[in-house]
Amino acid sequence: MPAIEGTHQQWVDRGERWYATSTLTPKVRGIFRGAMAKAGRWLVAEHPETTEPGQWTRQTGAAWVGAMDRLNVGDYVQRTVGLSKRSGKPLSPRTKACYPIATRTVFRDMQEWEWIPCPAAGQSSPLLFTQYFTTIRCNE
């Protein structure tokens, strides 16, 4: 599996730690790893102050949901081999549905494993936006 490039090293380290720890199938872990790498590259471009998953906020989540809905093939990727015919075209609905599921799953696992903080009592989770987006997309 190629090393993740184009994002903060802390983001990469947490993502790789998640990949090594998760009990999801290798294929699903790989897909989710790729989605999180894309999120990390998006953060570098749009929110460079967010360098690791523990800094993710509701506002970051809301911005990521909006970005996911507008992503095109080839956006925030590490390699472009094989994308020439599809590059620049909108992502498929299936792919769009995968990104928020991946984001929510990885962040939920990191919170459950106490790698990143959970919201304090009375506060909403930063994952709320990705959950809403997934519900909307899956019901369209």
pLDDT in tens, the chain (140 residues): 889 999 999 999 999 999 999 999 999 999 999 999 999 999 999 999 999 999 988 888 889 988 988 999 888 988 777 767 778 888 888 888 888 889 989 998 998 999 988 765 445 555 555 554 444 443 34
Domain that holds residue 103: 9-138
pTM of the model: 0.82
In a domain, 115, yes or no: yes
Report pLDDT for 139.
Answer: 37
In a domain, 29, yes or no: yes
In a domain, 65, yes or no: yes
In a domain, 2, yes or no: no
In a domain, 41, yes or no: yes
In a domain, 89, yes or no: yes
In a domain, 102, yes or no: yes
Total domain count, the chain: 1
| Distance from C-alpha of 74 to C-alpha of 78, rounded to nearest angstrom | 9
Which string of DSSP letters, residue by residue, matches 59-100?
A: HHHHHHHHHHHH-BTTTT-S--TT-TTTTTSBPPHHHHHHHH
Cβ density class 67-76: b for 16+ within 10 Å, e for less: bbeebebebb
